[in-house]
């Protein structure tokens, strides 16, 4: 990556660069190129004269075509470009860009301290998760959990927390609709999250559509694991029943202890939100480097956000290890294309006002930066929203891009920890699994010094390499997963509500 004092250019093919800081009109950024107007930090500068209809390249990829004749030094933004054609998912080539495992960076640590489970990935926390089948029970459950934390949890020092797993699903929905399996799968898999240590506790109301048998096996659907609020005569009996069941679960969880485990027992999610034009230069590639180290060490890494990576889907297909993964990728992307088209939503609806203020002109540019967080490893499996992976390595999880929907989807897929990249800043967090926040600019870290865990901004200025920041992220992943460090989202208790993806009708 070429670096200059005033701008960053990614690829030799690029005919635009992004400003490292706010530039005033008349600033010479390179020989023969002078800014034609004030250009904000992170926004694109034309490096050559462009005629109307000529292509603009960043990351070596066509972002679009300029709408008007454009002089070198001009500001290129969301108003400047026409979108290129969307890549087709038909007959995408697969396996043409597979990096060998030995070419991935070696992990600098090979083990971590986690809670071993009978099946699946190990836990990064030891939590009593009390789940709901329906939003109607959320109020009771939140009160109960607050009381449990005050009155019961101190007696169980080896248990990290008690969490009410509430969601807006369960009733008033078309429970047998074609796509209802998506939210039902999410609720089912959240109940069995690795950080809950195999302990099942589900609270229902009694008249909802999402009955226990839809989220539990017959062996799990027992009085030892489920409560129906309508069976109890008021507040005190409800609380006593919840306390009695919780006490039994807490006694078992309290016997669990961390043990040294291989990286193959770790499942990490990668997500980004509030992105800017530096995200694809600093934070996301650095997280991608950490992802490659984890995969090299045997861990499983999951990246998501289908509406963001959609315009680079052919690049992901080239990294699929087999036809099965390629076909699943095409199937999931096609489903989401149809979902958006049904709602008459343009593909460029994804970038937010904040993304654009941060220099991202359109969905193509955002896609290139988003994909960077996946690193360079081969994609061993493609899964749908809230689906559990069956293989170890790099997983493409086709969730929506919305932060508050992607996060719960990844949780349902079993992540023990999430790394979240941001350019504009967000206090987002998850209560079930810790979230490490990585920002793309040093200015963001200085502003939110006690909210952002790691800044990748030194990559843009040339003071650090992607590999150096990637190692910093890797080390924090291991420390947080091992309970040695807490990310700021857990320090302050900044935890978002769980928004379950539900494309099925509400009745």
CB-based contact 277:356 (threshold 8 Å): no
Q: Which residues pair with 30 in a beta bridge?
A: 33
**Helices 283-296 and 466-481: crossing angle, nearest 10°?**
60
Whole-angstrom Cα distance, residue 428 to residue 440? 16
Looking up tokens 């600019």 gives: 441
How far CA 80 is from CA of 66, 280, 290, 342, 414, in Å, comes to 6, 20, 35, 28, 42
Q: Could you count the other beta carbons within 10 Å of the beta carbon of residue 343?
A: 9
Q: What angle do CA 417, 423, 424 make, to 5 degrees?
A: 110
**In 358-400, which ranges are continuous DSSP H helix?**
363-371
Tens of pLDDT, residue by residue, the chain (507 residues)? 444 579 999 999 999 999 999 999 999 999 889 999 999 999 999 999 999 999 999 999 999 999 999 999 999 999 999 999 999 999 999 999 999 989 999 999 999 999 999 999 999 999 999 999 999 999 999 999 999 999 999 999 999 999 999 999 999 999 999 999 999 999 999 999 999 999 999 999 999 999 999 999 999 999 999 999 999 999 999 999 999 999 999 999 999 999 999 999 999 999 999 999 999 999 999 999 999 999 999 999 999 999 999 999 999 999 999 999 999 999 999 999 999 999 999 888 888 899 999 999 999 999 999 999 999 999 999 999 999 999 999 999 999 999 999 999 999 999 999 999 999 999 999 999 999 999 999 999 999 999 999 999 999 999 999 999 999 999 999 999 999 999 999 999 999 999 999 998 999
The set of residues, in sequence order, having a beta carbon less than 8 Å from that of 362 and lying 6+ positions away, is 63, 64, 78, 81, 83, 348, 351
Whole-angstrom Cα distance, residue 76 to residue 151? 59
Q: Could you count the other beta carbons within 10 Å of the beta carbon of residue 306?
A: 25
pLDDT confidence of residue 4: 53
Looking up tokens 């969905």 gives: 363
CB-based contact 317:422 (threshold 8 Å): no
Q: Output the DSSP codes for 302-342.
A: EE--HHHHGGGHHHHHTTBSSHHHHHHHHHHHHHHHHHHHH
Structure tokens, 496? 């978002």
Looking up tokens 């934070």 gives: 283
Q: What angle do CA 132, 113, 220 make, to 5 degrees?
A: 30
Whole-angstrom Cα distance, residue 275 to residue 355? 6
Whole-angstrom Cα distance, residue 149 to residue 166? 17
**At 291, which helix (H) or strand (E)?**
helix 283-296
pLDDT confidence of residue 39: 97
């Amino acid at each position: 990556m070429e670096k200059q004092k005033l701008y960053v250019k990614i690829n030799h093919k690029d005919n635009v660069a992004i400003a490292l800081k706010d530039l005033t009109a008349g600033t010479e950024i390179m020989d023969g190129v002078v800014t034609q107007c004030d250009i904000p930090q992170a926004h694109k500068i034309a490096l050559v004269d462009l005629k109307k209809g000529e292509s603009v390249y960043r990351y070596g990829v066509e972002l679009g075509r300029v709408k008007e004749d454009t002089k070198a030094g001009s500001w290129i933004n969301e108003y400047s470009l026409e979108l290129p054609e969307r890549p087709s998912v038909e007959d995408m080539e697969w396996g043409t860009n597979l990096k060998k495992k030995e070419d991935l960076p070696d992990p600098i640590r090979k083990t971590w301290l986690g809670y071993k489970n009978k099946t699946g990935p190990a836990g990064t926390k030891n939590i009593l998760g009390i789940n709901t089948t329906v939003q109607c029970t959320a109020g009771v459950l939140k009160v109960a959990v607050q009381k449990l934390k005050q009155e019961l949890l101190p007696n169980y020092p080896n248990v990290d927390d008690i969490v009410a797993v509430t969601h807006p699903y369960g009733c008033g929905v078309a429970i047998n609709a074609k796509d209802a399996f998506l939210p039902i799968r999410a609720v089912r898999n959240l109940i069995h999250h690795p950080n809950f240590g195999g302990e099942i506790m589900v609270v229902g109301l009694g008249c909802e559509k999402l009955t226990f048998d839809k989220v539990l096996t017959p062996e799990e659907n027992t009085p030892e694991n489920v409560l129906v609020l309508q069976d109890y005569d008021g507040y005190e009996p409800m609380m006593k029943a919840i306390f009695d069941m919780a006490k039994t679960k807490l006694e078992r969880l309290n016997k669990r202890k961390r043990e040294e485990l291989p990286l193959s027992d770790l499942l990490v999610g990668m997500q980004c939100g509030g992105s800017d034009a530096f995200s694809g230069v600093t934070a996301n590639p650095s997280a991608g480097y950490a992802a490659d180290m984890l995969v090299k060490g045997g861990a499983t890494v999951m990246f998501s956000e289908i509406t963001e990576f959609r315009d680079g889907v052919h690049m992901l297909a080239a990294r699929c290890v087999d036809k099965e993964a390629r076909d699943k990728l095409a199937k999931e992307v096609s489903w989401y294309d149809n979902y958006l088209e049904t709602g008459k939503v343009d593909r460029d609806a994804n970038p937010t006002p904040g993304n654009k203020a941060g220099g991202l002109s359109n969905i193509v540019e955002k896609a290139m930066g988003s994909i960077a967080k996946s690193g360079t490893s081969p994609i061993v499996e493609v899964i749908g929203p809230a689906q559990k992976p069956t293989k170890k390595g790099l997983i493409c999880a086709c969730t929506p891009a919305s932060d508050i929907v992607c996060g719960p989807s990844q949780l349902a897929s079993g992540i023990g920890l999430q790394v979240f990249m941001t350019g504009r800043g967000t206090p987002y967090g998850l209560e079930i699994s810790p979230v490490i926040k990585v920002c793309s600019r040093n200015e963001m870290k200085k502003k939110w010094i006690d909210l952002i865990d790691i800044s990748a901004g030194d990559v843009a200025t040339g003071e650090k390499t992607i590999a150096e920041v990637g190692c910093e992220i890797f080390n924090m992943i291991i420390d947080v997963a091992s309970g040695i460090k807490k990310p700021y989202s857990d320090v302050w208790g900044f935890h978002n509500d769980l928004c379950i993806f539900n494309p099925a009708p509400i009745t």
